[in-house]
Amino acid sequence: MKKKFLTLCMLLLVCGWGHAQRKKLLLNKNWKFTFGHVVKWNGPSERINLPHTWNNLDALGGNIDYYRGLGNYERKVFIEPEWKGKRLTLRFLGANSIANVFVNGKHVGEHRGGYTAFAFDISDFVNYGKENSVWVRVSNALTLDVMPLVGDFNFYGGIYRDVELYVTDQQSISLMDYGSKGVYLHQQSVSKENATVQAIIKTQGLKDAQLRLLLKNREGKVLQTKEIDKEKHLKGKDTYYLPLEILKPHLWNGKKDPYMYRVIAQVVDNGQVIDEVSEPLGLRYFRVDPDKGLFLNGSHLQVRGVCRHQDRPELGNALSKIHHLEDAEIMEEMGANGLRMSHYPHDPYMYDLMDEKGFVVWSEIPFVGPGGYRDKGFVNMESFKANGKQQLIEMIRQNVNHPSVLFWGLFNELKEKGDNPVPYLKELQKLTRKEDPYRITTAASNQNGDINTITDLIAWNKYNGWYGGKVSSIALWMDKTHEVLPDTPIGISEYGAGASLFHQQEELKKTNPVSYWHPENWQTHFHEGFWEAIDERPFMWGTFIWNLFDFGAAHRTEGEKPGKNDKGIVSFDRKDKKDSFYFYKANWNKEEPMVYIAERRLSERTKKNQTIKVYSNQKSVSLSVNGKKIKGRKGSYGRFYFEIQLKEGENRITAASGKHLTDQIELTLAKQTPAL
């Protein structure tokens, strides 16, 4: 009885009971975890909370043989007796990558794919008024019919996002449509004068109840109330349609004004709301011009984008909301306005944050090619192709209401050699247009050929000056590509170079990218050159830094540490921002005054004469060395240069703009050896 009371109190605390509306219980605590090779009921187990991955340690040390196999998650859930006759739905926000769910020992269902939500109706599997066992068997083993097959990132296994139990009336809005919440808001036409939105609601078991749709403004005021008539002749599907007309809409305008309405879908029985789903509605219109780039609500928007992977040291991909929020705040600090969610759909909370903060989002399925590796990203077999379509539909239906999402990404670095993915990509393009004809498709390529002609837009992963060539050659590539493809909007989906905070050099010297030595100043040089070339070419519809953060890649043996891709401009643990971060902040963030002395980690110098570079978004910067002011010159793109002389021993360098904006470092000059 005590256990029942505690469970009931938890539900009241987490969800609120309302008037018989849906209830949501978060099932993140008190799971028992065992590896797949543990077969005894009383075998060794670990008590864990979700989010969880079993690869948080072994995949992050350069161990290419990190465990890719089966893991078991078990817990008890008390099912209240008053829930009998209700609909119980178990929803997982992410389990990588194949999950089989059992309730009381009976198989409920399987989901194949690690980056989208999925749900199972467990109403017929539970015992009411008793504790019920939930057993989830998750595998991250490589299989040739589940995307992705290969990638330059770790395939962490586990239930690494939230698990939810929904209790709804039998007459309810469906949670069973490809893991979505059952409410879709398609923006058919939007302008400053009016907007038409097609609302589609998927339901279950509707008999006598009625559907109601409310449109609320940001302050919660009801602007419209409509009831929905059921469509006939839909082959038994409970699908309802209703167009919303909004005059003089307040537009979602990116970072300038990320305004959102709310659309509330309700199931009403005898005047009482018995189920309800609330979804964001950010009204906006956009287009991409081959010569002028992206336009949002009629105004040009230069997409200053970053790419992001969803992992951290000691956590792997098992992140909590505080981690996603910290990442979003770092993006805001640097002044970015675009995010490529590479190479898979990210946590639902991250989409919410991007809506609220006004970022432009590129969301993609994990159709990832080999890059420079052996394995193929595509196998021409029906089960693989079916899985890709399933994951595409899941991504779209789960995220279609997010105003931040402008682009659906269909692949990354595929090759036409061997099994040619082009015919299949055409199927994915057609499917995407059917699911959501109101957004733009794109892809990240590193090839030439027909593969670049399928999506609405195309972008390339470019590393001129890192993997061969010179940084300056990127300008020539952009101009030449635009000349050859004058009617195709082009962009850069990745650009970056590796850097270790501990690798410092006095001279600017290019390194071998596959070597241990990844000096920070070469990464800075790379990004300065790329951004100058990009900024001068408005026809680039979008460009995305690879990567915002260092991330785990077990097979990598280069740079500061095995098992890490160090192309991030922020450290893996988010504690240190590399010099290139501040270069972008000086150029992208005009709201927060800043001054930053670059190359500060090269604290011991061997040459008396030094050039000090300062990044700032202010009009003027002064510098003093050991209290003595030094004249400098203002360069372009937020850079200021000062020629100084160091004394032997310690030197204090202070940069300032105005009275209160300062930055200070200390440099040590080694004792000079007299010339012979």
Peptide bond connecting 555 to the previous residue in cis, omega within 30 degrees of 0? no
- Go through 344-379 and write b for each residue having 16 or more CB atoms within 10 A of its CB, e for each that does not: bbbbbbbbbbbbebbbbbbbbbbbbbbeeeeebbbe
- Distance of alpha carbon 662 from the chain centroid: 34
Residue 428 and residue 436 in contact, taking contact as beta carbons nearer than 8 Å? no
Residues 276, 279, 413, 599: which is the catalytic one?
413
For 409, list phi and psi in degrees, rounded to 5: -95, 135
**Cis ω before 280 (30° cut-off from 0):** no
Q: Strand 210-216 to strand 261-269: parallel, antiparallel, or no bridges (unpaired)? A: antiparallel
d(CA 46, CA 39): 14
Q: Which two tokens stand for residue 210?
A: 């009625």
> Which sign does the torsion angle of CA 145, 146, 148, 153 carry?
negative
CA 349, CA 331: separation in Å to the nearest integer? 15
The amino acid occupying position 511 is T
Q: How far is it, in rounded angstroms, from Cα 415 to Cα 449?
A: 9
- The yes-or-no answer on residue 435 being catalytic is no
Q: DSSP label at 170?
A: S
The values of phi and psi at residue 614, to 5°, are -125, 135
Q: Look up residue 404 and give its DSSP letter.
A: T
Tell me the residue type at 514: V
284 contacts 403 by C-beta, under 8 angstroms: yes
Residue numbers annotated as active site: 413
